[in-house]
Amino acid sequence: MKVADFHYERPDSLAKALVLLSRDDADVQALAGGQSLMPMMNFRLAQPDTLVDLNALEELRGIREAANHIEIGAMTRYAMLEASDLVRKHIPLFSIALPHIAHSAIRNRGTIGGSAALADPAAEMPALLIALNATITAVSTSGERKIAAKDFFLGLYETALDEGELIKSISVPKALIENRFGFYELTRRHGDYAMAGVAIAAQHMAPLTGLRIVFFGVSDRPLDVTAIAETLEGQSATDTDIVEAACRAIGNQSLHGDLNADAATKTHLAQVVLRRALRGMNA
Amino acid sequence: MTGPINPFDKPNSYIGRSVERADAKRLTQGRGQYVDDLQLPRMVHAAFVRSPFAHAEILSIDKQVAEKAPGVVAVFAGADLTDHVTPYVGILTHLQGLRSPPQMPLAIDRARWQGEPVAMVVAQSRALAEDACDLIEIDYKPIDAACDVESALAPDAVVIHDEYQNNLAWERVVDAGDVDGAFARADVTVVERTFTFARHTGVTLETRASVVEFNPSDETLIWHYSGQAPHMMQAIVAKHLGMQEENVRIIARDVGGSFGIKIHTYGDEFATAAAAKILGRPVKFVADRNESFSTDIHARDHRVTGRIGVDKDGSIVGLEIDDLTGIGPYSMYPRSSGIECNQILNLTGAPYAIDNYRARGTIVFQNKNMMCQYRAVGHPVAMAVADGLLEGAAHEIGMDVVDIRRKNLLRDDVYPTSSAAGMKFDDLSHQKALEKLVELMDYNGLRRDQKEARENGIYRGIGFVSMVEVTNPSPMFYGVGGASISAQDGASVRLDATGALHVSVSITEQGQGTNTIIAQIAAGIFGVDLDRVKVTTGDTATTPYGGGTWASRGAGIGGEAVLLASNALKEQVLDVAAVILQASPETLDIKDGAIVDLADENERMPLSDLGKIVYYRGNELPSDLAPELIATRHYRVTDFPFVFTNGAMAAHVEVDIETGFVKVLDFWAVEDCGRVINPKLVDEQIRGGVVQGIGGALYEECLYSDDGQLLNASMADYLVPMAAEMPDIQVAHIETPTKTSVLGAKGAGEAGTGGAPAAVMNAVNDALRPMQASIYQMPMTPQRVLKALGTV
Amino acid sequence: MTQTCTITMTVNGEIVSQQVPTRMNLVDFLRNEVGLTGSHVGCEHGVCGACTIEVDGVAVRGCLLLAVQADQASVTTIEGLANNPTGRALQNAFQKHNALQCGFCTPGMLASAVEYVEGGGSPERTAIREHISGNYCRCTGYQSIVDAIADVLENASS
């Protein structure tokens, strides 16, 4: 199919983009990397009246180091994250996870802000951001505000962004030397969306403390299971009884099935990825 | 015949050599010519409105707004085409009792599957045509749909066609020997399994594409077609558009994959042709991917219950199967949708010596997209059922799965012979193929590894299949049933004034390397360099009449026609040369583009000299000599309905019992396709086929909701095999040339797809055996494997 | 009424300037307006990889980029691949190994392969398979494609 007609704007400043996006008399849609929006438009599942292309906004691109965090512009592409020394050094979980996200040609265009704003529950990035305790800076003509990643993803393709609001940047705390990270996903084919996946951040490994465990591909949003984190808090990740107790805690969550796996299978696979991610952290 | 008796062993023969494809050079440089590449003056574009319901009455269609939309040239509903296209019926008379009502390109009054074309817009661009599609108002009244195959024949099922009492399309029973008697014997172990095979589709990377141009001044129509059977299309287009056949020209240039998908009558394509004729200007229609998933023919979707009986020694005493399948609301035209079920009845157990065989096939109509013949028609089902049962029986009686095959496979010295289902076999090598396979894969070594791995909690499995493949079909496939589908092929071979050969042949190229092997045969048989041969395929105006490329027939039938024509031309050329050289034709030969003495290969005259004399200086020839530097020959298979190939394949898999994921570690295929013309191309056909078969075993499935909505009509959701998960595949050959032709080539294109699912399924079950778990449902998805294990 | 926009880009070293509907994607523009039909449209949702082309030095899906977004960009399609030594080497290796059948995926497959080879990809088969896992081939079963790419990498390193 071909895209339904739309009005195209490519503002050269964030201020102009925000004015365009603040219009409430028409369906205005921001275009970031386009790796999800363009397929939906090509299938005519999305038919915005106006498309505001953010790709000329250099001010939204880039990876900057601050004292305690890394500030990533919303229009920073996955490939730039992959290539970044700052990311490698300070956000090791990104470096583990990025090669699993789609395919090279998609990562060359797809942006971190676009992924966050789309809030696809099967995607890796929302889960990574919650696990890393990232903060999302949203901006609109009324100004900026900061939203913790854990409060940002509200449901299937649903975020805390208001109408006319854009993601400006995402700030990710720098990993400390004692922090440990885990990531595991089950995809039927390399680069596919996961049947189940998990991202884990721990302040300490032995014993486990300050855990954030976030699943993706198993619900209508990234699933931050505090019950698991609590079960594991202060324990050893090599203690199989404890790990099994943590796995049982997933069973109390209500997971969502999809075309290829029902809720029971999702629950089982979530347990498997948790076990394997923890095992990976032990290694 | 002149020259040596066996032309294939000549040192300058190209047959048996892995020469590179000339087409590969073009295609790697972006110089392919696919249908969508074509832009013609005044060309307009078609887009379709399709039924969103699986079953609905069409109460009204309001085209008015759409007709006035920007760029719109015309809007057609079903009723607008009734004066331009005659209805078509997809039955074959030899599938006795198969029934199907007449079809039209666009639904009229009632839509019977989600995706059925209901209205067409023709506009200046595809985008504008789609814009206008959104403006057509169609009032539907949804009706309960009969989607589920199992309940389609229930007394309370919705009947899809008012003219019939129920949704039965066809039934067939084969009953040979005494199955009940054999199963009742005290020393016989009977194993029963129920197998489920999901709906698949072909997923050609180039979707269906047509550009049709009509010239009203001379009533000629040219259809630029992405497909496999130009002359078949010519016949049916002429018939249903009310034209003289000679005024219809079908041109198929590069085809971006076909696999049996692009060989049928699709409503959207016939509507496109009708629109071109009505409008008197070229119309292009290229299915988008969504249309491709929801309207390209689907295949498989079989439920088979099978029983096998073996005695204490492992000899098969009887086999019984019951196949139920749904084909959508109509039988596809012109090949019908009865062939897959028919093949399953014909082929299940065919590699084995079985006297007692009973098979029942039931085909029902349903409100889903139509089913028809996709690569390896029926084979994956037949092979998985027979070999799944056989491996089950082997374990039941404690016998090795290779040994039970050694015991039951047709012996290599029994040919010609016939199967219980009546298939005639000759020149097969099941036993040799199995032994070669066992050696190639190091079977004993793998078994040792398997045992060791199990001790470490790693579950690997080894699975086999022994198979036959229907190739080189005779007229008994379609022609006998009344279809305008040729089983013979023709080739013309012409020598030009410079000594080059021009071959035109009725088989087609979809990437298999048809053009290359045709050039190899012509060059080798006639005696010129390969780069002096130009091959033309895929054009009804410039090739002899013939069937095209399907049912693995190109090399075996088209290749033989080229061989015969090349030999004939050689004789004609030598007759002329003999006159010019004042020699006897029996003493001459053609080698490397020159006339040579047969005895010592001394050059007497280059072919370019002979060409120049004949074409330019005919005055130098005796006036009673009438040189013919072109020869045409046709070939069809006689004596046998099909020329079967055989093969033995094995899969080595690892099942992650925690996740249900299956990884194919290794795959081996030993194939006997008779004489191998180009080993590299044959191996590639087999590998590609194996991967499609692995797709069927592990990934591919058209998922429908209960009310007939296709749920995964995108490439992100319908999974086909990708590079990262596929193994390297080892291929080996046994060459038992068929005696039905001089060339001796049988087909090879479908073997992998036909055999791999059985081998993978058996391997998965072998891996699961320590857990007493088994799975007979394809694709074997992680969830299904976990369910088989009782995990979820 | 369809909005249009005038764009200028360098395609295979040649400057192209044209008015296009803003809704037209880059691969349709290259095929239908510039006449470079070597890039193929296989799915229009960014999955099959047949439309993969190089824009400003990186491989992207031509169906997920509007033509207007490539304004001022430098684009290399399959037709321009031979100007680059890696591109030419891969084309030759694809021919030698028969790393294609129908050829429809080949332009995109080559674009991904060029990116891999030029990015210092390893000749290890698993790594090659992972890199091309975003490009569908329905004919070959992939093995010959892996052979061809590995061949180029091994020759480059030897």
Q: Which CATH number do you get for residue B663?
A: 3.30.365.10
- Using CB atoms, pick whichever of C24, C106, C139 lies closest to residue B28: C106
Q: Which CATH number fits domain A181-282: 3.20.20.140, 3.40.50.1820, 3.30.390.50, 3.40.50.150?
A: 3.30.390.50
Q: E-assigned strands of B485-561?
A: 489-495, 501-505, 533-536
B74, two tokens: 């015309």
**pTM recorded for the entire structure:** 0.98
> A residues 181-240 near C, CB within 8 Å?
189-191
Q: Where are the domains of chain A?
A: 7-53, 58-173, 181-282
The pLDDT of residue C1 is: 64
Domain shared by B276 and B302, yes or no: no
Q: Residue B2: its pLDDT value, please?
A: 43
> Do residues B594 and B498 both lie within one domain?
yes
Please spell the DSSP secondary structure of B717-781, one letter per residue. TS----GGGPPPEEEEE-----TTSSS-B---TTHHHHHHHHHHHHHHHHHHGGGT----EES--
Task: Test A261 with B712 for CB contact under 8 angstroms.
Answer: no
B786/A268 touch (CB, cutoff 8 Å), yes or no: yes
Q: Does one domain contain both B269 and B125?
A: yes
Provide the 3-class DSSP secondary structure of residue B790. Answer: coil
Cβ within 8 Å of B, C 43-82 = 43-45, 47-48, 50, 77-79, 81-82
- In this structure, are B555 and B623 located in the same domain? yes
pLDDT tens string C22-49: 999 999 999 999 999 999 999 999 999 9
Question: What's the ipTM?
Answer: 0.98
d(CA B234, CA B286): 19
How many domains does chain B divide into? Answer: 3
Report phi then psi at B602, rounded to 5: -70, 135
| Partners of chain A (3+ Cβ pairs below 8 A) | B, C
Please tell me whether residues B609 and B519 are part of one structural domain: yes
User: Are residues B722 and B773 part of one domain?
Assistant: yes
The class that CATH gives domain C84-157 is: mainly alpha
Name the residue type at position B57. Answer: E
In chain B, which residue's Cα lies nearest the Cα of A262? B783
> Nearest Cβ partner of A190 from C46, C49, C130?
C130
- State which amino acid sits at residue B149: V
Q: Give mean pLDDT, residues A63-72.
A: 98
Could you tell me which of B775, B787, B759, B778 has the C-alpha nearest to residue B697? B778
Beta strands in chain A (DSSP E): 7-9, 28-31, 50-53, 63-65, 69-73, 135-140, 143-148, 153-155, 158-159, 166-173, 180-186, 196-202, 212-216, 223-224
B/e letters for C106-124, b = 16+ CB within 10 Å, e = fewer, are bbbbbbbbbbbbeeebebe
The minimal CB distance from A259 to the residues B125, B126, B703 is found for B703
- Provide φ and ψ at A153, rounded to 5°: -95, 110
Q: Which of the four pLDDT bands, split at 50, 70 and 90, describes residue B5?
A: low
DSSP string across B267-336: HHHHHHHHHHHHHTS-EEEE--HHHHHHHSPEEEEEEEEEEEEE-TT--EEEEEEEEEEE--SSPPTTT-
Domain shared by B521 and B465, yes or no = no
CA distance B30 to chain C (A): 4
Q: What is the pLDDT of residue B710?
A: 98
Tokens of B621: 């020839």
CATH number for the domain whose boundaries are C4-80? 3.10.20.30
Q: What is the mean pLDDT of residues B244-262?
A: 97
Percent share of chain A, pLDDT over 70: 100
**Average of per-residue pLDDT values in chain B:** 97
Q: What is the pLDDT of residue B477?
A: 87
> What is the pLDDT, as a whole number, of residue B98?
97
CA distances from B385 to A65, A155, B194, B402, B757 (A): 62, 45, 9, 17, 10
Residues B29, B280: Cα–Cα separation, whole Å = 35
At B339, give phi and psi (nearest 5°). Answer: -70, -40
Res B284: pLDDT = 98
**Crossing angle for the helix pair B401-408 and B379-396, nearest 10 degrees?**
110
CA–CA dist B285, B288 (Å, integer)? 9
- From chain C residues 32-91, the ones with a CB under 8 A of any chain A CB are 44-47, 49, 52, 58-61, 63-66, 68-69
pLDDT tens, residue by residue, A32-42: 999 999 999 99
State which residues form the domain around B437. Answer: 298-475+639-788
What is the 3-class SS of B137-153, one letter each residue? EEEEEECCCCCCCCCCC
Final residue of a structural domain among B583, B604, B635? B635
Whether C44 sits inside 8 A of B288 (CB atoms) is yes
pLDDT at B211 over 90: yes
Examine the domain organization and report whether B616 and B757 are in the same domain: no
Residue in this structure with the two tokens 């265009």, named with its chain if needed: A109
Chain C residues with beta carbon closer than 8 angstroms to that of A106: 46, 61, 134
CATH of A7-53, one of 3.30.43.10, 3.40.980.10, 3.30.300.130, 3.30.70.20: 3.30.43.10
* Domain C-terminal end among B241, B271, B295: B295
Average pLDDT score over residue span B589-605: 97
Closest CA to B741 of B594, B667, B638: B638
For chain B, list the contacting chains (3+ Cβ pairs, <8 Å).
A, C
Residue ranges, comma separated, of all CATH 1.10.150.120 domains in chain C are 84-157
Q: Is C39 near chain B, with CB under 8 Å? A: yes
Q: What percent of chain B has pLDDT over 70?
A: 99
Contact A106 C61 (CB under 8 A): yes
Test C107 with B30 for CB contact under 8 angstroms. yes
For A58-173, the fitting CATH number among 3.30.465.10, 1.10.1370.40, 3.40.50.11740, 3.40.50.300 is 3.30.465.10
Q: Please tell me whether the peptide bond between A207 and the residue prior to it is cis, using omega within 30 degrees of 0.
A: yes
Residue B618 token pair: 């005919």
> How distant is the Cα of C136 from the closest Cα of chain B, in angstroms?
6
> Is there a domain that residue B172 lies in?
no
Model pLDDT, residue B3: 43
Give the integer Cα–Cα distance in Å for C19 and C7. Answer: 6
The 10 Å Cβ neighbour count of residue B142 is 14
Q: Which residue(s) pair with B225 in the sheet?
A: B210
Radius of gyration of chain C from its Cα atoms, rounded to whole angstroms: 16
Q: Which residue of B has its CA nearest to A40?
A: B714
Evaluate whether residue B152 is within a structural domain.
no
Q: Is residue B783 part of a domain?
A: yes
Percent of chain B with pLDDT over 90: 98
Phi, psi of B362 (to 5 degrees): -130, 125
| A134 to chain B, closest Cα gap in Å | 29
Tokens found for residue B689: 């086929």
Of A179, C41, A275, A214, residue with least CA distance to B205: C41
Q: Is B256 on the interface with C (CB under 8 A)?
A: yes
C41-98 pLDDT, tens digit each: 999 999 999 999 999 999 999 999 999 999 999 999 999 999 999 999 999 999 999 9
Residue finishing a domain among B592, B618, B635: B635
C106 touches chain A (CB under 8 A): no
Q: Positive or negative, the Cα torsion across A36, A40, A46, A50? A: positive
Tokens representing B514?
A: 């048809």
Q: Is residue B190 part of a domain?
A: no
Q: Are residues B329 and B400 in the same domain?
A: yes
* Spacing of C-alpha B198 from chain mean position: 18
- Inter-chain residue contact B722 with A189, CB threshold 8 Å: yes
Cα gap A261→A186, rounded to integer Å? 12
Q: Which among B290, B718, B28, B263 is positioned nearest to C105, based on CA atoms?
A: B28
